[in-house]
Every structure is written in structure tokens, then in C-alpha cells.
């Protein structure tokens, strides 16, 4: 039996541990077991509260899915019942009775069908069984669509029910899993330690029984200490609070849906079982590779966002295969998959990671890592990059640098460090192995255990580029990939490169298309941009401040990012609409992209000519770019041929931006729409975003959906003049302090 103080004996009852005896790990037994009771109660509340939230969703979702299934069955000829039964079912009697569809048979009772002439008990049972079999097959293909522009009571109730789970976030699932594990480990020892709760009962136990009780107490002590270390009491309490919140007003829930529709649809697919085809979600990988990837459990402890199924698979592919290209189509979240892989390694004890990206997305990466994970991030860029690099070597975290900045740093061998993972965004930048940037990346790739290249351009059409990239990752399969694989089409190419390449397309993994996906693209001023911006601030010229990021086109960080987005869209065959408030900015964009663009659709262009430009843009084969002044193209014109929208700057009136996006994301759109808003950090853009975000979201929801808001945007928007004056004053004050 353990010694007094190290375990339990009757004399321990009610004793306060001697000062300096250690900690709560040696505390008196009865308070210890009381704490265990409290923690068990909290743990049992988590799955119960989670189940109630899930049931609330299913109570609304199931009738919606049943309705969709019924509609689909009403379009399937009754003759299909014979096919399902392999010809055994005689359907003549049903046809003669006027039954035209499978749905008409399925909705009748057994009694009603048996009353039909020529239909007996066996035929009735066969017909209903066949109809139900078809209904199950159809259920796997239907998807509930959530339309914020045309809500109805059923989908409104569904969005409200989903909101609670979305608000709880990934912590709800983590808490549930942790609670069930804790219950499994703690419930039995607490029950076995019950004799230790009394003062007299332990005296009647034999030596062996006292030993069992003492062992149970020590197990409880150990589990409680581990739970404290993992902060489980706090996690359980917070999740229960989130799951028990009162329902959000429907309008506010719809606004939240528009802001993060991907999370709503991810939950919806999970709960309805109507997610994408598994082979498509796994990039049609060979079964041996897919099985290995599935077998890896992703540790998302350090993530702050829920992953879609295909995103989780992408992160696990990078981890299981170690040195790969993730080539998902734009809009599918390659960045968050990379962050998930980094977070998994960090949760396992790794502490140094390196991300290399174009300068135009450095700020975006910083914000994404901070928003979506608990990882430390350190930009290694600019004049202080050597000091930042030294800090990374000492303290670890995620170092972010640019292609140009990487070669200026000590190489991996000289630095004496092996990053747990190297991530290279826009990896096609290093397709030429002879360039300085490619050599710098190759040096770090040789030292890193995991290497993840990200590119949204389809490699099937760029086999030579792919071979160059793959040589940096794993030279052995590169020679086996020939141009014939690309010519043979995507399946042949993907089979050849499966160990190192994963690509999924939107239509394969997002069954809810068309969806609206918004991305804020943050960049930093170049030195030339900053000079132009400071001059505009000094002059107190608000409009010039807004377009200063384009004042020097050859040095413009925003323009560089815009070119990258257009190039990626071109690689995927997407049409693009570029909106700006300023004709001058559109002229700069046109000069940067060349003459192969349509427009601009602007205020000085006659209405008939505007429509001609939009029609020509829509009729163009494949990729095309349309330029439009946001005031001129934001209303009245239908641009649903576009699936990518780029906003050159934020707008003073939110409704102006909403209406512009609605030109592409509207009835008739058959693809998901990606909206990229170009923003400059520490500038008028950031001030505008902060000030506009202060508006009450619920009021904005009601107002923006009213007829008044559609007809008179000024009725709900802030005053242009007041906002401009406030921002100019704040920026003059801020820059005056620098």
C-alpha cells in the first residue's frame, strides 16, 4: 500500500497537506474527489449540450433533405422501379393506375397500393422497397442550398441552428472528444475511490481493498493533474456556454453566414452526409496512398478554425508524403491546409517552420496564421530581417520571408537549423532551377524534413514546370513524368505524379456551389507607394490617399498582387471582373495587364456601350478580364460570366461593394464566386475597415435587406465627409508620430 502522503489511507481524511509538501497533487482526498465529481459533471455536460445543438440542426435539416429527395423522385419515371428489381417487378398495373413517377409510388401507403387492380401484397412490398432504395441513392446526391438573398422560413431556421455550432467552432468537437476520453478514464476510478469519502467506512476495509482504493485515488489525482495541465475545465466551461447561448436573430445569423459561409456549408455537409465524392475529395489518388493518408490522425489542437473534409485530407497528405505539391484550384483554402500541417507538427513538439512567399502576400500570411492558429509568427523581411532571423533561430515559431529575402539570409546549412516544414507559396516562382530564388529554396528544401509547395495553376498543362518543381522535392520520380502524361489528360498525369501531387477542383469538393468566398488580400506599401501615400496624407487629400497604392505602377504592391490573382485565374480558365472607384486606377490596371482586357465600364461610357462590353466579355472563350468602375458596373449589369471579383480598394459605402459583387454572384451563376479585396496595411484601407466594422451587424442585416437600402444606399451608410475627415486626421496624427 502506498505510504501516507503518496497515496491514501484512513488517516488522510480531511488533512491539509503540510506547507511545502508539493501542490494540489497531494491535497486531501475528499476535496480531491469532490473536484473529480465536478470535472466529471462538466465533462458529461459537454456531449449532452453538443447533442442538443446537433439535434436542433437535424430537426430542421431532415425535413429539408426529405423535401429535396421527394422532388427528385417526382422526376424519375416509375419504370426505374423495374430496373432496381432487375426486371422482377411488374409495373404495368401502376402505370395503368396513373402512377408516372417513383415519387408517386413512394408517397402512397401499403393499403392504398394493394387496392389497385392487379397489385398484390408481394408486388406492393417490392415496389415500396425499390422506391425506398432509390430514395436512399438520391439522398446521397442532393445538397441543401442556403441563399441569403432569398431566405425562406425553413432555411432561416437552419442557419440559426447552425450558427450556434459555427460560433462554438472547432472547440466544440475537441471538447466533446476530450470529455468522452476523460469520462472513460475518470469515472471508474472515482467510483472505486468511493470508500475514501467517508470517515468510518475505510476502517472496515481489508488490506487488499484499502490498496485498491489507494490506487484509485492516485489514478484520480493523476487524471485531474493532467486535465488541469490541458486546461480542460476551462475548455468544457466555455464550450457549454457557447452551446447554450440563446438563438441569434435570424437576420444576424444570415449576416454571419455571408461572412463565413464555408464553415456553415462544412457543417451542413458533415451533418447531412452529402459531402463530395470521396475519390474526388482525395484527388483521385491511388488507393494505397489514400489509405496511408487517411490513417494519419491530424492533431488540430493549435488550430482555431474547422477544416472541411478535403482540407483535412490535404494537410494529412502533406504530412504523410512529406515532400509534395498541393495544387488545389484557387478558392479551396491551400493556405489553411498548410497552416493545419504546421499546427500538427507544432502540437507534436516541433518549433521551427519557414514560409516563403511573394512580398505581395507576406502580410496576408501573417494575418492568416495569427487568425487561424495559435502558432507564433515572425516576419523575416525588410531592413531588420537579420535580427528577426536571429530571433527565430533562438525562439522558433513560423518565420515568414519573401523569395528575394530568402537568398539574403544565411543558407540552411550555415544557419545550422533544420525546419520541421518548409512551405513555398506560389511555388511556380521557382520553376526555373537556374534562378537565384530557386537555388535558395532548394538549399532550404534539402534541410527540411517536410516540404510543401503551393500553387493554384494546374500542373497538367505545365508538365515541364512540374518536373522542375518535383526535382526540388524528390528527384526520383521526376524523370518518369513525361509530356505525354499531360497530353493524355488529367487522370494519366495524376497517376504518374500521385506520390507528390494533390489537386482538387471546386466542382469536385464544394457541392454547395455556387458559393461566395471572400478573401482580404493584405499587402505592405513599397517604398515608392509609401512616399506617395505620405504626400497625400500631408496634403489632407482623402481620395488621393485611397489610390496612392497605384501611384507608381512599377513598384505597386497591390498591382503585383492583382497580377498574381489574374494569372492564377487565367491558369484555371476563370473570368475576372476588376472593380475600382477610380478611373485612373483602372487605367493603371489596364496598362499592367495589357490590351487583352474588356472595358472599362465607366461613368463616361454610354449605357448601350457598357452592355456591349459586358456581352463581349461573357461571350469570350475561356479566361477574360473586364474592368469596371464600381459606380457604373455595380448596378444594373449582369456579369455572371465572372467567377473571380477583384476590388482594388475598400469602398466607403458597404452597399456599393455588396451591389458590385452581386453583379457576378447572382441567379445564373454556375460557379462559385471568389471575391478578393486588395488592402494595404497601416493605411487608409485599414482605417476604413476598422471604422466600418463598428457598425452594428444586426442593424446592417435588417437595413441592407430592406427595399430602402436597395433604392437609397445612403440611408444606411456612413457619411462620406465625416468618415474622410476622421481618417485623414487619424493618419496625419499617426504618421506625425513616426
Query: What residues does each domain of the chain span?
Result: 24-62+151-251, 66-139, 280-509, 516-737
Q: pLDDT band for 466, please (50, 70, 90 cuts).
A: confident
Q: Is the pLDDT of residue 341 over 50?
A: yes
Tens digits of residue pLDDT in 544-588: 999 999 999 999 999 999 999 999 999 888 899 999 999 999 999
* Mean of pLDDT values over 222-247: 94
DSSP states along 85-136: TTT-S--HHHHHTT--BHHHHHTS-HHHHHTSTT--HHHHHHHHHHHHHHHH
Per the model's pLDDT, the better-predicted residue between 17 and 439 turns out to be 439
Q: Is the pLDDT of residue 590 over 90?
A: yes
CA distance 254 to 133: 35
Tens digits of residue pLDDT in 81-104: 988 888 788 888 898 899 999 999
- pLDDT at residue number 482: 54
Q: pLDDT band for 719, please (50, 70, 90 cuts).
A: low
- HSE of 449, CA atoms in CB hemisphere, 13 A: 12
- pLDDT at residue number 665: 63
| Rounded percentage of the chain residues whose pLDDT exceeds 70 | 84
**Do 455 and 468 touch, CB atoms closer than 8 A?**
no
Q: pLDDT band for 524, please (50, 70, 90 cuts).
A: very high
- pLDDT at residue number 263: 82
Q: Which residue do the cell numbers 531588420 mark? A: 384
- pLDDT at residue number 669: 53
Q: pLDDT band for 506, please (50, 70, 90 cuts).
A: confident
Residue 77 is classified by DSSP as: B
Q: What totals of helices (H) and strands (E) does the chain contain, helices first?
A: 36, 13
Q: pLDDT band for 296, please (50, 70, 90 cuts).
A: very high
Grid cell at residue 737? 508620430
CA distance 436 to 30: 68
Can you name the CATH fold of 280-509?
A: Rossmann fold (3.40.50)
Q: Which long-range contacts (CB under 8 A, 24 or more apart) does 92-95 make?
A: 92/118, 93/117, 93/118, 93/119, 93/123, 94/119, 94/127
- pLDDT at residue number 362: 85
192 burial level (CB within 10 Å; 0-12, 13-18, 19+): middle
- pLDDT at residue number 398: 97
Question: Which overall architecture, per CATH, does domain 516-737 show?
Answer: 3-Layer(aba) Sandwich (3.40)
Fold matches, 66-139 and 516-737: no
Q: Is the bond preceding residue 514 a cis peptide, omega within 30 degrees?
A: yes
**Do 263 and 170 touch, CB atoms closer than 8 A?**
no
- pLDDT at residue number 197: 82
**Neighbouring C-beta atoms of residue 15, cutoff 10 Å:** 14
CA distance 708 to 97: 53
Q: Is the pLDDT of residue 692 over 60?
A: yes
Burial 621-640 (b: 16+ CB within 10 A, else e): eebbbbbbbbbbbbeebbbb
- pLDDT at residue number 490: 58
Would the pTM of this model clear 0.75, i.e. be above it? no
- pLDDT at residue number 573: 87
Can you name the CATH fold of 66-139?
A: DNA polymerase; domain 1 (1.10.150)
**Neighbouring C-beta atoms of residue 694, cutoff 10 Å:** 7
* Mean of pLDDT values over 653-682: 75
Tens digits of residue pLDDT in 388-402: 999 999 999 999 999
- pLDDT at residue number 509: 80
- pLDDT at residue number 535: 95
Task: List Cα–Cα distances, 695 to 611, 688, 692, in angstroms.
Answer: 35, 12, 6
Burial 262-277 (b: 16+ CB within 10 A, else e): bbbbbbbbebbebbbe
H/E element holding 420?
none
**Neighbouring C-beta atoms of residue 651, cutoff 10 Å:** 23
Neighbouring residues of 510: CB distance < 8 A, sequence distance ≥ 6: 265, 276, 332, 672
Q: Is the pLDDT of residue 311 over 70?
A: yes
Phi, psi of 516 (to 5 degrees): -110, 120
CA distance 336 to 311: 8
**Do 90 and 116 touch, CB atoms closer than 8 A?**
no
**Closest by CA position to 454, among listed 360, 355, 380:** 355
* Mean of pLDDT values over 525-554: 94
The overall average pLDDT reported for the chain is: 83
Residue 361 is classified by DSSP as: G
Q: pLDDT band for 198, please (50, 70, 90 cuts).
A: confident
Q: pLDDT band for 637, please (50, 70, 90 cuts).
A: low
**Closest by CA position to 9, among listed 188, 195, 219:** 195
β-bridge partners, 677 = 520, 647
Grid cell at residue 426? 506560389
- pLDDT at residue number 83: 85
Q: Is the pLDDT of residue 16 over 50?
A: no
Q: How far is CA 416 from the centre of its chain?
A: 35
Q: Is the pLDDT of residue 164 over 90?
A: yes
Per the model's pLDDT, the better-predicted residue between 170 and 315 turns out to be 315
Tens digits of residue pLDDT in 132-156: 999 988 887 787 888 776 789 999 9
Q: Which residue do the cell numbers 476588376 mark? A: 578
Amino acid at each position: 500500500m502506498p505510504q501516507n502522503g503518496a497515496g491514501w489511507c484512513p488517516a488522510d481524511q480531511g488533512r491539509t497537506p503540510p506547507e511545502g509538501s508539493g501542490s494540489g497533487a497531494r491535497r486531501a482526498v475528499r476535496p480531491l474527489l469532490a473536484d473529480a465529481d465536478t470535472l466529471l459533471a462538466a465533462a458529461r455536460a459537454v456531449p449532452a449540450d453538443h447533442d442538443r445543438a446537433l439535434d436542433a440542426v437535424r430537426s430542421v435539416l431532415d425535413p429539408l433533405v426529405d423535401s429535396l429527395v421527394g422532388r427528385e423522385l417526382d422526376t424519375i419515371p416509375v419504370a426505374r422501379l423495374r430496373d432496381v428489381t432487375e426486371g422482377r417487378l411488374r409495373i404495368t398495373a401502376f402505370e395503368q393506375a396513373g402512377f408516372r413517377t417513383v415519387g408517386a409510388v413512394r408517397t402512397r401507403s401499403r393499403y392504398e397500393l394493394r387496392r389497385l387492380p392487379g397489385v398484390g401484397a408481394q408486388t406492393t412490398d417490392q415496389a415500396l422497397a425499390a422506391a425506398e432504395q432509390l430514395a436512399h441513392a438520391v439522398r446521397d446526391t442532393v445538397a441543401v442550398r442556403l441563399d441569403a438573398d432569398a431566405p425562406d422560413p425553413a432555411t432561416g431556421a437552419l442557419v440559426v441552428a447552425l450558427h450556434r455550432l459555427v460560433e462554438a467552432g472547432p472547440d466544440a468537437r475537441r471538447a466533446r472528444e476530450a470529455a468522452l476520453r476523460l469520462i472513460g478514464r475518470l469515472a471508474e476510478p472515482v467510483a472505486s475511490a468511493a470508500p475514501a469519502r467517508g470517515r468510518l467506512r475505510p476502517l472496515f476495509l481489508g488490506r487488499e481493498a484499502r490498496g485498491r482504493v489507494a490506487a484509485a485515488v492516485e489514478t484520480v489525482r493523476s487524471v485531474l493533474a493532467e486535465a488541469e495541465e490541458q486546461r480542460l475545465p476551462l475548455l468544457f466551461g466555455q464550450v457549454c456556454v457557447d452551446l447554450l447561448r440563446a438563438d441569434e436573430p435570424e437576420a444576424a445569423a444570415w449576416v454571419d453566414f455571408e461572412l463565413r459561409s464555408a464553415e456553415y456549408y462544412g457543417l451542413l455537409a458533415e451533418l447531412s452526409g452529402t459531402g463530395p465524392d470521396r475519390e474526388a475529395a482525395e484527388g483521385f489518388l491511388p488507393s494505397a496512398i489514400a489509405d496511408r493518408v487517411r490513417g494519419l490522425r491530424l492533431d488540430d489542437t493549435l488550430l482555431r478554425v474547422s477544416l472541411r473534409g478535403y482540407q483535412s485530407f490535404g494537410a494529412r497528405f502533406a504530412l504523410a508524403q512529406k515532400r509534395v505539391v498541393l495544387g488545389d484550384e484557387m478558392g479551396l483554402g491551400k493556405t489553411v491546409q498548410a497552416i493545419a500541417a504546421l499546427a500538427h507538427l507544432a502540437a507534436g513538439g516541433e518549433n521551427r517552420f519557414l514560409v516563403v512567399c511573394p512580398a505581395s502576400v507576406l502580410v496576408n500570411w501573417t494575418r492568416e496564421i495569427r487568425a487561424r492558429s495559435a502558432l507564433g509568427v515572425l516576419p523575416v523581411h525588410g531592413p531588420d530581417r537579420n535580427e528577426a532571423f536571429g530571433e527565430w533561430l533562438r525562439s522558433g515559431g513560423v518565420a515568414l520571408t519573401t523569395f528575394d529575402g530568402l537568398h539574403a539570409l544565411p543558407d540552411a546549412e550555415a544557419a545550422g537549423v533544420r525546419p520541421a516544414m518548409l512551405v513555398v507559396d506560389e511555388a511556380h516562382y521557382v520553376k526555373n532551377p537556374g534562378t537565384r530564388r530557386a537555388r535558395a529554396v532548394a538549399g532550404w528544401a534539402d534541410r527540411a524534413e517536410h516540404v510543401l509547395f503551393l500553387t493554384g495553376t494546374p500542373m497538367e498543362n505545365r508538365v515541364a514546370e512540374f518536373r522542375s518543381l518535383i526535382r526540388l522535392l524528390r528527384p526520383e520520380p521526376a524523370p518518369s513524368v513525361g509530356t505525354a502524361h499531360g497530353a493524355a489528360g488529367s487522370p494519366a498525369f495524376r497517376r504518374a505524379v500521385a506520390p507528390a501531387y494533390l489537386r482538387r477542383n471546386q466542382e469536385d469538393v464544394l457541392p454547395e456551389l455556387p458559393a461566395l468566398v471572400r478573401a482580404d488580400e493584405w499587402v505592405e506599401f513599397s517604398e515608392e507607394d509609401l512616399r506617395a501615400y505620405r504626400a497625400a496624407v500631408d496634403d489632407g487629400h482623402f481620395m488621393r490617399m485611397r489610390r496612392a497604392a497605384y501611384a507608381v505602377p512599377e513598384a505597386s504592391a497591390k498591382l503585383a498582387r492583382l497580377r498574381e490573382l489574374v494569372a492564377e485565374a487565367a491558369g484555371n480558365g476563370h473570368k475576372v471582373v476588376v472593380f475600382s472607384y477610380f478611373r485612373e486606377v483602372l487605367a493603371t490596371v489596364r496598362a499592367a495587364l495589357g490590351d487583352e482586357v474588356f472595358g472599362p465600364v465607366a461613368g463616361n461610357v454610354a449605357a448601350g456601350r457598357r452592355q456591349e462590353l459586358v456581352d463581349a466579355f461573357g461571350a469570350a472563350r475561356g479566361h477574360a478580364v473586364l474592368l469596371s468602375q464600381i459606380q457604373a458596373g455595380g448596378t444594373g449589369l449582369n456579369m455572371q460570366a465572372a467567377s473571380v471579383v477583384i476590388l482594388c480598394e475598400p469602398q466607403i459605402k458597404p452597399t456599393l461593394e455588396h451591389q458590385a459583387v452581386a453583379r457576378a454572384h447572382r441567379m445564373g451563376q454556375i460557379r462559385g464566386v471568389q471575391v478578393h479585396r486588395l488592402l494595404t496595411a497601416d493605411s487608409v484601407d485599414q482605417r476604413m475597415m476598422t471604422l466600418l466594422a463598428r457598425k452594428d451587424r444586426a442593424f446592417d442585416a435588417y437595413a441592407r435587406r430592406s427595399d430602402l437600402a436597395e433604392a437609397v444606399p445612403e440611408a444606411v451608410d456612413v457619411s462620406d465627409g465625416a468618415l474622410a475627415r476622421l481618417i485623414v486626421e487619424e493618419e496625419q496624427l499617426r504618421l506625425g508620430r513616426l
